[in-house]
Amino acid sequence: MGSGKTTVAKKLASAFKYKFVDLDEEITKDAKKTIAEIFDKHGEESFRERERKALHSTVKLDRVVIATGGGAPCFYDNMDWMNKEGITVYLDAPAGLLYHRLVSEKYKRPLLKKLTEIELMEYIHEHLAQREPYYNKALVKIRAASLNVNLLKEKIKKAAVKSEKKKSA
């Protein structure tokens, strides 16, 4: 959350001349509710089930860059599934950068809206510690603070070649 996934995914889609899909937008379209409403009315578990369903529905898409929510790789077998079906990217962002990006918009985010600034920093540290084992499974890792889309594009191309070699072996 706050690493720049959506922004970077849009730029990558443009660079590759692919379509862009925001998984959270697909969930809200299908549910006819905002993410916050899903969390508030049905809870996180219901959201994660919808998220998994939406993620798996992307398998039929071709030439697409998908931005997932920050929790998506950490539930069910989502990260392993994404690695099998495509090229995953981890935008590695330090806690301070995430805090700086999230503090002013925390009221827009269901998991953050009730946190004080100190609780927000604690939340970021806790979630990075919990989620990094999943994020580190990504096929491509790049620092979010100094991200260069062209460099990322080249890393993705190399990862795609490696992935194809593994599949054909």
**Contact between residue 12 and residue 66 where contact means Cβ atoms under 8 Å apart:** no
pLDDT at 7 over 90: yes
Amino acid at 127: H
What is the model's pTM?
0.89
Q: Which residues contact 84 (CB under 8 A, 6 or more apart)?
A: none
pLDDT of res. 169: 64
pLDDT of res. 28: 96
**Contact between residue 66 and residue 58 where contact means Cβ atoms under 8 Å apart:** yes
Residues of the chain with pLDDT > 70: what percent? 99
DSSP assignment string, 58-114: GGG--SEEEEPPTTGGGSTTHHHHHHHHS--EEEE--HHHHHHHHGGGGGGSTTTTT
pLDDT, mean over the chain: 93
pLDDT at 152 over 90: yes
Amino acid at 75: F
pLDDT digits (tens, 9 = 90+) for 65-103: 999 999 999 999 999 999 999 999 999 999 999 999 999
Burial of 167 (0-12, 13-18, 19+ CB in 10 A): exposed
Q: What is the mean pLDDT of residues 33-50?
A: 92
pLDDT at 14 over 90: yes
pLDDT at 165 over 90: no
Q: Quote the distance between the C-alpha of residue 27 and its chain's center.
A: 14
pLDDT digits (tens, 9 = 90+) for 95-145: 999 999 999 888 887 778 899 999 999 999 999 999 999 999 999 999 999
Answer CATH for 5-159 from 3.40.50.300, 3.10.20.90, 2.40.50.140, 3.30.930.10: 3.40.50.300
Q: Which residues contact 155 (CB under 8 A, 6 or more apart)?
A: 140, 142
